[in-house]
A and B are shown apart, each in its own frame.
Chain A
Amino acid sequence: MIPVLTLEIAMIGLGVAMAIAGLRGLMGPRTTDRAVASDLMFFSVIGFITLISLRIGADALFDIILIATLLGFMAAISMARLGSGGQR
């Protein structure tokens, strides 16, 4: 098994990336800047899911990643729609 300490260091790194992206999301001058920041936060969430599944040894790891990537696409498209005020 992979050492627990390694996974915890990796999770701290991801948490820092997520916090920086979240700060941009709070500050972002326009909706579309926030959309880009939330995109990056979503990629860190995918990383978190991977690390947590490795730690608890879940079998369905790759199924979850597959579904998560497709959900992220929906999030990005709806943020873009929000940013342009509903027009396409």
Chain B
Amino acid sequence: MNDVSMIIGVGAIFLGIFILLVSAVGLFRFPDLYLRASAVGTSAGLGVACIVVGALLIDFSWMNLIKALIAVLAQMLASAVGSMAIARSGYQNNSLPADITWIDDLRLTRRDLHDQGEIPR
């Protein structure tokens, strides 16, 4: 029992590290802020959760289970709110989406483009 949960725990930790590595590569492969934020989103949710669950399996107790559950839930909600805040401030700060973005409804609401007359009122 102890050996099995240890092996599964080490496997979960390595899976989490693999997800972190992949999203680090995604930071370079994706062209704009919003796609990069999506790539980091995989490690924010599943990556950290895998590492914490792996540590839990290696060092199990009921108290640790409760703490790990709270930590994973808090991490997921906090990182979601954080990446929404970053994406929103990016759009306000003229970090335009890459050219492959083929529909952009938010562009209709941009005040500076209205002032230049690029979008008719």
The residues of A with any CB-CB pair to B shorter than 8 Å are 2, 6, 10, 13-14, 16-18, 20-21, 23-24, 30-33, 35-37, 39-40, 43-44, 46-47, 50-51, 53-54, 61-63, 65-66, 69-70, 72-73, 75-77, 79-81, 83-85, 87
Instruction: Report B-chain residues with C-beta under 8 Å of the C-beta of A39.
Output: 40, 44, 79, 82-83, 86
Bound-state CA distance A32–B95 (Å) is 8
**Please, which residue of chain B has its CB at the minimum distance from the CB of A30?**
B95
The residues of B with any CB-CB pair to A shorter than 8 Å are 6, 10, 13-14, 16-18, 20-21, 23-25, 27-28, 33, 36-37, 40, 43-44, 47-48, 51-52, 55-56, 58-59, 64, 67-68, 70-71, 74-75, 78-79, 81-83, 85-90, 92-93, 95
Bound-state CA distance A50–B55 (Å) is 7
Inter-subunit contact A30/B90 (CB<8 Å): yes
Bound-state CA distance A39–B43 (Å) is 10
Q: List 6 A-B contacts (CB under 8 A).
A: A2-B58, A13-B21, A20-B27, A39-B86, A43-B44, A77-B82
